[in-house]
Amino acid sequence: MRTHFLLLSFAMLQVGVSQSTLTIEVELNQPDAGGTVRIALCPTMQAYDSEKGCQVLSKPASEKVVRIEVSDIKEGSYAIKAFHDVNDSGEMDFNLFGIPKEPYGFSNNATATISAPKFEQAAFVVKKGANKTRFRMRG
């Protein structure tokens, strides 16, 4: 009987634990170009700087606003780097001067000057429950 009570109590605790989710909305500046939106969702400054440890997500660029759902995400600070892979090459294309040839964007609409904005500029907080972040592509 005691074992059943403990199992029931544990099950009730599990039901009460809320999962965090994140909806990422990316507003395209070239929605008719086709291709794929590619995102690096980074949980730390080190991951953001190196892109190692980031969750890589992608979705076809078939609408003006591309929505990507992330379920069961841990609470904390995150920053996003994204680009619109118009030619579906799997990587960002640059011209001879190192300037991106494809649209790109960062969470918080952080702006890039000579390089990507710092983690702190692009960072947003994921809390318990449903979360949403939205930014637009540039370039």
| 25, part of any domain | yes
Task: Give the pTM.
Answer: 0.84
Domain tally for the chain? Answer: 1
From the list 123, 117, 35, the residue with the least C-alpha distance to 83 is 35
Cβ–Cβ under 8 Å, residues 53 and 47: yes
CATH code of the domain covering residue 90: 2.60.40
| 48, part of any domain | yes
Domain that holds residue 82: 19-136
pLDDT tens by residue, 10-53? 444 444 455 899 999 999 999 999 999 999 999 999 999 998 99
Residue 1 has pLDDT above 80, yes or no: no
| 87, part of any domain | yes
| 103, part of any domain | yes
End-to-end CA distance of the chain: 66
| 14, part of any domain | no
| 81, part of any domain | yes
d(CA 116, CA 107): 11
| 69, part of any domain | yes
d(CA 83, CA 135): 12
Q: What is the pLDDT of residue 113?
A: 81
pLDDT tens by residue, 61-97? 999 999 999 999 999 999 999 999 999 999 999 999 9
| 1, part of any domain | no
